[in-house]
């Protein structure tokens, strides 16, 4: 079967692929990551006359260059042929392949990777401000182990006095071809009577398509999008308590939710590092990041980290994000959309103040405010 496929395909150009890495998982599988220099679509792996589909992360465009497959560890042998193939574009039919062999030297050590991707951020200085009763804002200047600066912004939300609401374009329930900037979502909610105190961005979304959110979205008790999504989310139940969970672990939770916005990885669970994407650049490259955490007493922590401007702020890995939230008492945390989407606003007088420095990938210094599908609003309880 293998040779039949190869007769139909063309070999990829030399230099189109940067190789492969492997990690043995505790569930009896070995994760393989193949790295392409250019985006590839509809990528598959041929191994032992079996075809495996790419488990790529479709939340960010550059992850079309990271291609993930899980193979049974007990069957994977040194010298096995590994052939990945893909197309240059979604509309392309011609396939190009890259071939290598499996060797034990490809294996990475998980504990070494954790240390490599933990930049040991320490607080050099911080400013703490009480935005409102039950809402603390903290601006931290952190330093990594090389003494490079990182600016981070933390909102500590007392859910007895305040709550979270999902902000959307025009404060509406429409999905598809509707996006708005976070300050516009704030204004829409205020016009509809919400006493908004602060906001951060929320879910990943189809940035180059119709703006559809990637995961579950619940607004005012109404499921707006993706009721079948298994991605982790931060939500507020009808009893007013906050929750970070997945519908896979809590399938009956959907009917209890008043608000919910999803992320991608559950980076903390039971106070420990949980999902951190050890072989995925999306996870270990330092970017602007946004995340939500939940403490044992039900306090919500919203954290945003600036990045992509070396002299000002160098961003964070997922491990950095989890470590920071854990330091402030989070026992669960979910990674939300980041990069150029990451923004923090707090109420200031009659308006709202942009606290962070949004950094688009192409124009990081221009402080561009991106159109997004939803955000998390901190709202004073009535």
CA dihedral 229, 90, 64, 2 (to 10 degrees): 100
CB-based contacts of 377, cutoff 8 Å, min separation 6: 164, 165, 166, 167, 185, 186, 189, 194, 196, 198, 199
- Map tokens 């404060």 to a residue: 171
Q: How far apart are CA 183 and CA 345, in angstroms?
A: 8
The domains located in the chain, with CATH, are 2-108 (2.60.40), 115-380 (no CATH)
**pLDDT computed for residue 60 by the predictor:** 52
- The sign of the CA dihedral 246, 248, 250, 253 is positive
Residue 352, both tokens? 């709202």
Choose among 301, 349, 351, 343: nearest CA to 190.
351
Of 165, 187, 175, nearest in space to 302 by CA: 165
Q: How far apart are CA 220 and CA 228, in angstroms?
A: 18
Q: State how far the alpha carbon of 157 is from the alpha carbons of 25, 133, 152, 345, in Å.
A: 36, 9, 16, 14
Distance CA 191, CA 119 (A): 42
Q: Which tokens sit at 92?
A: 């392309």
* Chain Cα centroid distance, residue 39: 20
pLDDT in tens, the chain (382 residues): 778 878 889 999 989 999 999 999 999 999 999 999 988 889 999 999 999 999 865 555 456 789 999 999 999 999 999 999 999 888 888 999 999 999 999 999 999 999 999 999 999 999 999 999 999 999 999 999 999 999 999 999 999 999 999 999 999 999 999 999 999 999 999 999 999 999 999 999 998 889 999 999 999 999 999 999 999 999 999 999 999 999 999 999 999 999 999 999 999 999 999 999 999 988 999 999 999 999 999 999 999 999 999 999 999 999 999 999 999 999 999 999 999 999 999 999 999 999 999 999 889 999 999 999 999 999 999 8
């Amino acid at each position: 079967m293998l040779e039949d496929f190869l007769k139909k395909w063309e070999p990829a150009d030399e230099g189109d692929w940067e190789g492969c890495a492997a990690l043995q998982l505790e569930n009896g599988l070995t994760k393989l990551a193949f790295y392409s220099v250019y985006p590839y679509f509809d990528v598959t792996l041929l191994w032992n006359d079996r075809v495996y589909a790419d488990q790529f992360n479709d939340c960010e465009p550059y992850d079309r260059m990271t291609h993930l497959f899980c193979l049974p560890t007990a069957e994977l042998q040194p010298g096995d042929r590994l052939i990945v193939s893909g197309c240059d574009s979604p509309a392309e039919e011609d396939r190009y392949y890259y071939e290598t062999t499996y060797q034990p030297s490809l294996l990475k050590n998980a504990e070494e990777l954790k240390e490599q991707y933990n930049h040991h951020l320490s607080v050099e200085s911080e400013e703490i401000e009480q935005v409102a009763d039950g809402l603390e804002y903290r601006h931290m200047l952190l330093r990594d182990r090389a003494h490079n600066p990182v600016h981070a912004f933390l909102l500590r939300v007392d859910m007895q006095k305040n709550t979270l609401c999902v902000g959307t374009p025009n404060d509406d329930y429409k999905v598809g071809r509707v996006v708005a900037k976070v300050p516009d979502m704030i204004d829409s909610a205020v016009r509809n009577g919400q006493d908004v105190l602060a906001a951060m961005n929320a879910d990943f979304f189809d940035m180059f398509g119709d703006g559809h959110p990637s995961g579950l979205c619940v607004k005012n008790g109404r499921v707006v999008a993706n009721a079948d999504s298994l991605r982790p989310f931060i939500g507020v139940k009808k009893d007013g308590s906050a929750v970070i969970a997945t519908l896979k672990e809590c399938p009956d939770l959907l009917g209890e939710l008043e608000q919910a916005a999803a992320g991608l990885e559950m980076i903390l669970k039971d106070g420990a590092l949980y999902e951190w994407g050890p072989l995925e650049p999306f996870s270990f490259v330092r970017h602007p990041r946004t995340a939500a955490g939940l403490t044992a007493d039900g306090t919500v922590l919203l954290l945003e980290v600036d990045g992509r401007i070396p002299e000002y702020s160098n961003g964070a890995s997922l491990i950095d994000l989890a470590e920071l939230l854990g330091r402030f008492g989070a026992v669960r945390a979910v990674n939300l959309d980041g990069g150029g989407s990451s923004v923090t606003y707090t109420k200031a007088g009659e308006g709202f103040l942009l606290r962070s420095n949004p950094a688009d990938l192409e124009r990081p210094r221009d402080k561009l405010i991106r159109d997004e599908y939803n955000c998390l609003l901190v709202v004073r309880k009535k």
